[in-house]
Structure 1
Amino acid sequence: MTKLSVNVNKFATIRNARGGNNPDLIQVAKDCEKFGAQGITVHPRPDERHITTQDVYELKEVVTTEYNIEGYPDERYLRIIEEVKPAQATLVPDSPEVLTSNAGWDTIAHDAFLKETIDRIKAAGVRVSIFIDPLPERIEGAAKVGADRIELYTEAFASGYFTGKEEAVRAYANTGLLAKDLGLGVNAGHDLDLNNLKYLKDQLPFLDEVSIGHALVCDALYLGLENAIQMYRRQLK
């Protein structure tokens, strides 16, 4: 079964826009799990424009499913991982000023840095996933530096879905199979929604997890949070 991890960054963005604690991020995470989410994802950026460092530690006390913390592996992030010990650390190559993750790791150019980082995180007993583009040589690089999983960066798939879904998914299906052959787990995320998620799952039936935030929150505005989570879960069956 492919697990649905709900990225709760957007709820924190709404909260931060007005100050105070509405919506209550802790209650949101608990409700997401109650409504069927099989994981909670956060991305605590240094500027704390959505998830704060305090959020990360408070969520650790209530999340009962898989807790996934994304981020660029600077010393701040690594210290959080070592102290919180989530189920999974997802490494992204973002610089602090970017709006959202917009590229995967070059696992060849950054092999030494990634290997050292991954060894340190795994020493804390945390699974490591690398955010990555669907390029065979970079998938092979992910295996060489010791990653447990990859997270396929699916923006290109989502952008091409309506104009040619077979072509849009081809690189993902091929590199997903390569990753499995190399012993890597396969996650996916970015711009996945109720239109394209089932097709991606059908082409990559071995997907371990998808992380979805923005689209799910937008759907929840119309459908309600419980209904939206259940609809995403149905796409993954």
Structure 2
Amino acid sequence: MSKQELAILFSGSIDSLALYALSAVGRHPDISRPRKIHLLCMQNGALRFRAFPFERFKTAEKILKAQAPSTEPVPESSFVELDTVRLFQGLWLDQCEELMPQYNDKNLVCTACLLAMHTRAVIYCVERLVPLLIAGISGKQSCCPRKTEIFITKIMAFSSGFGITTRFPVDSDFDDDMVIKHLLEDYGLPSDNGGESKCLFEQTHTLATEKEIGSYLDAMLPHLNKYVESRLEGKIRDAAECF
């Protein structure tokens, strides 16, 4: 079977670092060894420690290459920063005062941010013919919108509409920090969190429930479908008018 390229949503966190390691060495039943790995680091305009993800990637790449047998070298990897500010603003920041009352006054800022990230990643994958996008989630992130079944289901369907398969392959494996820590240390990789791209919106109060997240996604995904289609077809005015 010919190898394919894959993309990883990469923040430098131990979850995303573990995904990179598993992709690079091909030792997970749901992650086949790819021809090339695209590490997509999203910039939403509210991050700190911006250099950390790239430095962590280069450290991990060096360690994994040194361990890899000559018969199974680490795949070529590229680290790419993608800007999601405009999408993030259109999905929430520009209209949060009007939107919050529609969703029981719950703050959907993190949902909007993740939605912008996945949308930007889908565009990247379509333009570069990368068929598979993977992201790390874990049970310990119970406050994260990406952890909800409704978000996972709708994002997978959204991506599929543009020919991109989105997977969250290590949900049950990563439900305990101990498992991730053991995996990373087994490969000699950094296993401490805390330096990844911390966001100013983390630990936002009035977190949305799965009901509000689902309603919000139902409202925004049609706009995003039109946005992605317009963007890919070069219809810049239509894309700009989506939000």
Considering the TM-score relative to the shorter chain, is it more than 0.5? Answer: no
Structure with the greater alpha carbon radius of gyration: 2
Q: Greater strand percent: which structure?
A: 1
TM-score relative to the length of structure 1:
0.32
TM-score w.r.t. length of structure 2:
0.31
Higher relative contact order (CA 8 A, sep 6+): 2
